[in-house]
């Protein structure tokens, strides 16, 4: 399995992302080619894809941003295709994102995970992530 950064949109990439999104969340909406192009070209976000034999098996978004207290990184939308789970793609995506965040100068990498996702939470702990005692707040904005 190889990890690549998606920087340009192809029909295969768009199909892979739209195939993985429903496995991530039943509420996820399909992306248009224009939406995906804007996303992969944004300065703050990096889309990493797990690829083997020209087929995409997983994805992860790394968000890098600067604050007055230092550079930060956050992992979002990590998903591995159900047919490829248990083969190390998630671990490779995480390792690649951690390395990229460190090269960028981030002081830490944050992520959140649903406690019901037992295998994912086990992987995060194995990779060195530690749970924080914090509140996560969200304000839904009108569309």
Global pTM value: 0.92
| Ordered per-residue pLDDT tens for the chain, 143 residues | 899 999 999 999 999 999 999 998 888 899 999 999 999 999 999 999 999 998 999 999 999 999 999 999 999 999 999 888 888 999 999 999 999 999 999 999 999 998 988 989 999 999 999 999 999 898 999 98
Is residue 39 a contact partner of residue 21, using CB atoms and an 8 Å limit? no
Do 61 and 47 form a contact (C-beta atoms < 8 A)?
Answer: yes
- Which structure tokens are listed for 101? 């965040």
Going along the chain from its start, the domains and CATH numbers come out as 2-126 (3.40.630.30)
The candidate with the shortest Cα–Cα distance to 1, out of 48, 47, 58, 51, is 51
């Amino acid at each position: 399995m190889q990890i690549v950064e998606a920087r340009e949109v192809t029909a295969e990439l768009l199909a892979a992302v739209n195939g993985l999104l429903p496995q991530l969340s039943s509420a996820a909406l399909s992306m248009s080619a224009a939406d995906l192009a804007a996303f992969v070209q944004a300065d703050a976000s990096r889309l990493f894809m797990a690829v083997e034999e020209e087929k995409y098996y997983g994805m992860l978004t790394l968000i890098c941003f600067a604050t007055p207290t230092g550079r930060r990184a956050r992992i979002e939308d990590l998903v591995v295709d159900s047919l490829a789970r248990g083969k190390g793609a998630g671990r490779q995506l995480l390792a690649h994102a951690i390395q990229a965040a460190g090269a960028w100068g981030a002081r830490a990498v944050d992520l959140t995970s649903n406690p019901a996702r037992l295998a994912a939470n086990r992987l995060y702990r194995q990779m060195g992530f530690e749970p924080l005692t914090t509140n996560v707040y969200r304000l839904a904005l009108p569309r």
